[in-house]
Chains A and B, each alone.
Chain A
Amino acid sequence: MTYIAKPKFHHPGLKKNELGYTHRDYEGKISTLCAGCGHDSITASIIEACYELSIEPHRVAKISGIGCSSKTPDYFLGNSHGFNSVHGRMPSVLTGANLANRDLIYLGVSGDGDSASIGFGQFAHSIRRAVNMTYIVENNGVYGLTKGQFSATADRGSKSKKGVTNTDNAIDLVAIALQLGATFVARSFSGDKTQLVPLIAAAIRHKGASFIDVISPCIAFNNHAGSTKSFDYVREHNDAVNRLDVLVGRDPISVDYAPGTVQVVEQHDGSRLALRKLDADYDPHDRLGAMTFLQKHAAKGQIVTGLLYVDPEAEDLHTHLDTVETPLNTLDEQALCPGSAVLDKINASLR
């Protein structure tokens, strides 16, 4: 961490978005994480994505659990709603908040410990319920706050900083999310913002459960030779299947790609995803294919990144439950408690 606050001055030529904000306006407090932490780059990417989408900060709820990753919502969107919940319980709190007010944008920020160990069940259920959210796991494969034990996402055979080899099998959160029916699944790397920022932007615009696994090297405990989550290892083994541009409104799709290599996916809200294929055979609409592709590459030690699966026709929990369009928290007492006559009627219908 640093002792001084980040100076308020900003570059005089910074561009402003549609709301008149610069990207500096989407910042939060100064990070207290270790110098060089990958999580800070994810923070910067969230800031950039929200700035580019011209999101009104007060329309965002950022919810987290416990851990280095879960501290980060303090470092972005200083004017948004925030809830730092119990360890592993971010998904339940987010689900509850989402049910109460469907109008907000929900950002769930979690880590590998928070989501793959103590909150594994919570993670699974929020995905399978299709909560409309962007669920970001800042995945460094290590328990940084307790000085570097392997987490559940550490690869078998990878080495700790002290030289101990991990003998447990790793949980691949992307594979689980695909299996549980997430309708937007991506993996990225904190050291590659050009890939990560559009993925976050697209996930925010996606209606349904969006899941992004971001590999985020822990400089203090997991950036050594033998680690599979170090800057060097990820850069050497990164197999990006595609590059993404998010197009909001009627902006023409840029045409500086070779013909036939760009696939346009239109989402429910009218936003379009321009996918530039890097792997000609990869189809991001094929859930089963994606799962197989992941497993095959994982076996070769490759880290597959990019937009791995998207269902543009996705539905969310509110659709499934057929809730009213008006957020529940704004309904008046009459609507919420229509009285005993209505209750009697419902009871009668169930007899």
Chain B
Amino acid sequence: MKPTDISAPDYFHKVVDCQWACPAHTPVPEYIRLIAEGRYSDAYMINWKSNVFPGILGRTCDRPCEPACRRGRVEDNPVAICRLKRVAADFKDDIKHRLPKPGPKNGKRVALVGGGPASLAVARDLAPLGYHCTVFDGDPKAGGMMRSQIPKFRLPDSVIDEETDYILDLGVEFKGGQRIDSLKQLLSENYDAIFVGSGAPRGRELDIPGRKEAAANIHIGIEWLANVSFGHVEKIGRRVIVLGGGNTAMDCCRTARRLGGESVKVVVRSGFEEMKASPWEKEDALHEDIPILNYMVPVAFKHVAGKLIGVIFQKVKAEYDAKGRRNLVPSGEPDETIPCDDVLVAVGQENAFPWIEADCGIEFDKWHMPKVDTKTFVSTNPKVFFGGDAAFGPKNIIWAVAHGHDAALSIHKMLSGEDINERALPEVHVSSQKMGIHEWSYDNDISTDKRFKVPHRDKVIALKDIRAEVELGYDLKLALGEAERCLNCDVQTVFAAPLCIECDACVDICPMDCISFTENGEEDDLRQRLKAPSPHHDQALYVSGDLKTGRVMVKDEDVCLHCGLCAERCPTGAWDMQKYLIDMVQAGSTCQSKARSAA
């Protein structure tokens, strides 16, 4: 293999698994260290810059960082990154003075359709640069699906208000209660750019016999959640069936439990394991005495005189074909009828753009989705950009934020007369963490604590009040314990081949057997010859140049604890621990057109 080019910004970025997995590339270990130091406001600001909604995401994020967390490959559970983000939000001081100020107006006007996370992220990036941003939303308050679809017992209004206000206070104009019905009309108002962040607002139907006849007691999940959120719905029947296995279904069933649903059941077509809902959301539902029944396909609604009395299910089983694809086939067992008073249908969400006229210059693909560039988020109309669920279908908040950053950058470039396709490389800082012979500026003593549980409100009390937040968040002691579990993967092991005398000290001390000195070879061959097995080929091998004996140093980045013992035991300083910080390019970053490389 060729010697690893550690100056490529992506190399060390990938080693910070959590940051690499985060769509907004939040510098996770950096803010976790700040939490451990008690610097909650600083930790919050790092998050705010990257992901815009730390308090909201700290409660609701889909956490792509956690399955990626290196800790999860070393022991049972990853670091509770998401809930530590909430700690930063919960314990910060007043940070208003640290937020950007509305910039002097540059005379450019940007319209943002939809007041959810994508549009707000765009506005957050553009307003300080002097753009006049106008956000339109059909609901009276900003937040979009964060406000309408996420139950208050998971995400209180106060948190949404606080973090949406940080953005609106940048001089962003919010036009609540104004749903955009015509893009053509909006285009005629001569905005310099339009951003569509209108989400995936339509709940998928379940068209089976009885749907029309029993319509009064069959509700579409996201619509019903929005009605609950705005106080239009306050009750549901005693026996409730929720159809669907995603996070919306989990929100529906838990909400139903709080509105009078005594016997609430979730019924899914697939197996329990394959459900789309996040494992922790399933756990929370089970904890609230909501059984999840699997391998049951709804075939008809049973009704008497226009009144729903139950749902008929066909029992199925999973069969796998030669290609490993799963098919659900009838198991041959008799159909089962589950009696109920109400049904909540949460079987998916769809995009809907009835308000985009055919002659707006926006082309759609065969799935009726707008054709959007995956890097710049521009549509086929160069003035119109898409982001969030409106761009590529239902995802989650953190993706919407990431889209927002990229779209804002495109809009800023376009309106500055630059080529929106030319994206600058992120700025990278690498600095040694050595303070003394055995002293590092980070805590390299590895905690062996298991993941700490987030305290929950007592179930009896929680189920009585739909607005009582269930998760209470870590207290400071738990937060410190959990923060200590972070392996500081951003403090990189940097190897200088010319200094190495091949004494093996690093090999002997490495607790994870990451380091080998061996003859060079092709990657597949090298992976066979390392000191410990190397099963994760997506994890890089760090290969040095030739050493004196003709061998090379090969480090498997996979399970490195970043404990720095290799550097402590190295007599010549060939190993050093260097902190890697990457500044993702956002609209308004200082060096936008200048590509930077690692130090």
Contacts and interface: CB of A to CB of B under 8 A. Distances in A.
A348 B549 CA distance: 70
B511 interface: yes
A8 B448 contact: yes
A11 B354 CA distance: 55
Contact of A7 (B448, B502, B505, B535): B448
Given A10-B512, A13-B533, A36 B501 contact: yes
Nearest to A8: B448
Interface string A24-38: 100000110011111
A2 B571 contact: no
A36 B572 contact: yes
Nearest to A75: B508
A45 B541 CA distance: 25
B565 A6 contact: yes
B438 A3 contact: yes
A223 interface: yes
Contact of A2 (B74, B549, B559, B568): B568
Interface string A206-225: 00000000000101000100
A10 B73 CA distance: 11
Interface size bracket, A side: 35 or more
Interface in A37-78: 37-38, 40-41, 43-44
Given A35-B505, A35-B570, A36-B571, A9 B561 contact: yes
Contacts of B559: 11-12
Interface string B469-511: 0000000000000000000000000000000011111011101
A11 B565 contact: no
A321 B213 CA distance: 102
A157 interface: no
A28 B79 CA distance: 29
Interface in A215-239: 217, 219, 223, 231-232, 235
Nearest to A23: B513
A223 B73 CA distance: 39
Contacts of B563: 4, 7
B446 A7 contact: yes
Contacts of B74: 9, 12
B212 to A, nearest CB: 55
Interface size bracket, B side: 35 or more
Contact of B508 (A1, A8, A41, A223): A41
A62 to B, nearest CB: 18
Contact of B438 (A1, A36, A38, A43): A1
B569 A36 contact: yes
Interface string B230-262: 000000000000000000000000000000000
A191 B511 contact: no
Chain B CB count within 10 A is highest, among A2, A44, A219, for A2
Contacts of A9: 74-75, 446, 448, 511-512, 561
B502 A191 contact: yes
A156 B315 CA distance: 88
A190 B75 CA distance: 33
Contacts of B505: 35-37, 40-41
A285 interface: no
Interface string B529-549: 000110100000000000011
A34 B572 CA distance: 11
Interface of B: 73-75, 438-439, 444-446, 448, 501-505, 507-509, 511-514, 532-533, 535, 548-549, 559, 561, 563, 565, 568-572
Given A7-B446, A13-B535, A35-B569, 14 more contacts: A4-B444, A4-B446, A9-B448, A10-B511, A10-B513, A14-B532, A35-B571, A40-B504, A40-B505, A40-B508, A44-B504, A190-B504, A191-B502, A231-B501
